[in-house]
Structure 1
């Protein structure tokens, strides 16, 4: 018999419900996290399946589990056990809940019931958790950590920028990139206007050298010194001292972030370089080791996950959605998507239009049709996802002429 399981997770426990094909509740329980909870869940499932099981693997395939996440050791254990595991978007679960209750009432046990009922009635509409390789999972871990630190560095840089604008605007004129090594070095040494104005050309040149800058360092140091000595509206001395203390703290955080971003950069390259699909992915226009690793991490490497190029595009969020009712028809961008994946794909598209003649021609065609910059770039990204899908499916490296042959013919016509 088929068994349907709803698994609603919290930080320290799981609420599960087992349901049969008629929607009747067979069992429910609150399980602890970890090995003990997983063992209890296996026991509950085995009890319902019965003792007379000839093919355990096929029996496990008859168990469908709905859960609102697609990662973590618990999910990996469910997949390893052979169950069919479906990652349910929380928005889908919330909408499904309204089919049964419009009062807005909610509980963990009720959510487990909703998830079980969803996989019972709508499993064909849900996304199965992919069976990605351990290599792909490792790449996902390091690429997400790497990107998270980059985002955090941007936030800290903006905080430093706001602070300097309030008490030391001359520093903003001196340094284009506040998170650059020489900027952090000099501002750490002289975080207040008076100390910065005393920096000599040799001190600034030394900071540039430590940052790995080349060429005539004295010539590069002169405009920095001049900018730091520019008169500007300031704050009272005691307020300036307070701002300088807070700026030094932000600078220390940024320096540490720079070090860890660089360290994880190497980890991403090392893990990605060992993956069998790395060469194919890096052959795509606009993708190098870091961006390619992000794309692989977010797509995964399960060859059965995407039934077609369209399915991959839909998951990527690059394909448009159509809302039609009567005589009204609207085509819009997908706003529910994997933020990390769409960020990587749009970055790839931005580079591709500069290095790939086919991508550039396709971009120009979208602009000629009236699409704005973002819409045209999203269309390029959508096309590149389709090309990547074809290359991964056939095991072929990217070929410019083959990838854009259809569009080249239409442009020529």
Structure 2
């Protein structure tokens, strides 16, 4: 066969390479001294494949009569590029480190440059122990670059390591690491020292396929942190409101009618703290209740009169102490928590507005219809500050879970949404697409068109988010704000099917 054929076969074999132990097969009880995993070379594997009666076929359901020679798929092309990759282009590290972290201790497997056997050690999980170990690395290797592979992209350990210029971090998805472990331990056996060795082996053998983790700038990380914590506070408040609603239905359902517009408002929370039962509120004078509503900026005399009349006619659902007494304490506790969380959300909004106002990408994300003061910072945090991180919109669409996942096996094909993805990213793009519908002409037209076809609402919003992400990626990469009129004009000029709906 020609050299080109060998290269193609090498690329295909490289993507399916199976590693073997030097002296014995790795069983479920993997030991640290068995982590020197050998492998056949590409040439040996291709030669074995040529001797085999089975050849690689582009169609898995058919047996190929000869090695396929033709146009490489995108995945095969990437594999071929990996095979042809020049090792000299890889950064030279003084040491490679696999680090398996936990709350109390960190297991370390270190392979120094030129060494044939890795070194294992364990350090405590305290900040002092981590700093001492980092200083020891820095002194031992003379401030030369050191690569560390660990199962974390955020958390206390990576926060401690990210501030050192001589350390290059490779953050591995825990699922990716678990699958790599299962390759050698199908029984499910797991041990921290072995996991550190596997991370080192993954970094040593597959570094060309791994991307170094680079933190965003301080301003972007601050925006991301504030946005995520704000979302957590909102979620906590929502759960508390649901619990409060359930408790009030047990003995005081009238309060739900009186404050149906916003049970999380300071007025509703303060009312329940003052008067937690029908009997208590009926004892209050009309002047007292009227003054309470005025103090909480309720100026509608008609609404106040309606509430006072409802209070006068209210009848307790139950007066059983076994139900009412514990429910009162629960309602008062939840009311305080909801009030504090609402105040915290307001403070998060103020902090976000101040930090995001000076962000260089603020004009870009503020230009998207419906982004507002909440979604614009979240979009900025999702894209980040490193414009080399996402080579195209497809990378971010897949990472966030907006792009669908295709599973094929034999004659069956299943397309579904991605389940294992960063939830905050998925929520950000999904919710923005939802908010954009009333504010963007084409987004609203697309939504109504797809709903009219009988598609499910969530599927339509994900499809809309998919479209928005391509537009947002182009604006972000080119550093230009979004122009709705310009985009609508481009749809009309291209003769896009959506343009007909916009023009009608």
1:210 aligned to which of 291, 295, 306: 295
Contact 1:4 1:65 (C-alpha < 8 Å) held by counterparts: yes
Structure 2: gaps (5+ residues): 1-91
Shift of 1:25: 4.3
Shift of 1:29: 1.4
Shift of 1:124: 4.5
Contact 2:397 2:403 (C-alpha < 8 Å) held by counterparts: yes
Contact 2:223 2:352 (C-alpha < 8 Å) held by counterparts: yes
Partner residue in 2 for 1:103: 187
Shift of 1:44: 4.2
Partner residue in 2 for 1:34: 127
Q: Is the counterpart of residue 225 in structure 1 residue 308 in structure 2?
A: yes
Q: Is the counterpart of residue 293 in structure 1 residue 293 in structure 2?
A: no
Q: How has the CA–CA distance of structure 1 residues 302 and 77 changed in structure 2, closer, same or farther, with 3 Å as cutoff?
A: farther
Contact 2:429 2:465 (C-alpha < 8 Å) held by counterparts: yes
Q: What is the total number of aligned residue pairs between the two structures?
A: 401
Residue correspondence of structure 1 range 6-405 to structure 2 within 5 A: 6-19=98-111, 25-32=117-124, 33-41=126-134, 43-44=136-137, 47=140, 59-60=144-145, 63-72=146-155, 74-79=157-162, 80-176=164-260, 177-214=262-299, 216=300, 218-228=301-311, 229-231=313-315, 233-237=317-321, 239-403=323-487
Contact 2:400 2:422 (C-alpha < 8 Å) held by counterparts: yes
Q: What SS is found at the alignment partner of 2:347?
A: helix
Shift of 1:315: 1.9
Q: How has the CA–CA distance of structure 1 residues 246 and 19 changed in structure 2, closer, same or farther, with 3 Å as cutoff?
A: same
User: For structure 1, which segment, 16-25 or 350-359, has the greater mean C-alpha deviation from structure 2 after superposition?
Assistant: 16-25
CA distance in structure 1 between the partners assigned to 2:387 and 2:97 by the alignment? 26
CA distance in structure 2 between the partners assigned to 1:123 and 1:100 by the alignment? 19
Shift of 1:14: 1.8
Shift of 1:97: 1.0
Q: How has the CA–CA distance of structure 1 residues 223 and 97 changed in structure 2, closer, same or farther, with 3 Å as cutoff?
A: farther
The Cα offsets for residues 283-329 of structure 1, whole Å up to 9 and x where unpaired, read as 11221222222222243222221111111212221111111223222
CA distance in structure 1 between the partners assigned to 2:211 and 2:288 by the alignment? 59
Shift of 1:22: 11
TM-score (norm 1): 0.88
Contact 1:175 1:224 (C-alpha < 8 Å) held by counterparts: no
Shift of 1:374: 0.1
Between the two structures, name the one with larger relative contact order (CA 8 Å, sep ≥ 6): 1
Q: What SS is found at the alignment partner of 1:30?
A: strand
CA distance in structure 2 between the partners assigned to 1:128 and 1:233 by the alignment? 62
CA distance in structure 1 between the partners assigned to 2:382 and 2:296 by the alignment? 33
Structure 1 consecutive aligned stretches of length 4 or more whose deviation exceeds 6 Å? 20-23
TM-score (norm 2): 0.73
CA distance in structure 1 between the partners assigned to 2:235 and 2:309 by the alignment? 32
Q: Is the counterpart of residue 410 in structure 1 residue 496 in structure 2?
A: yes
Q: What SS is found at the alignment partner of 2:345?
A: helix
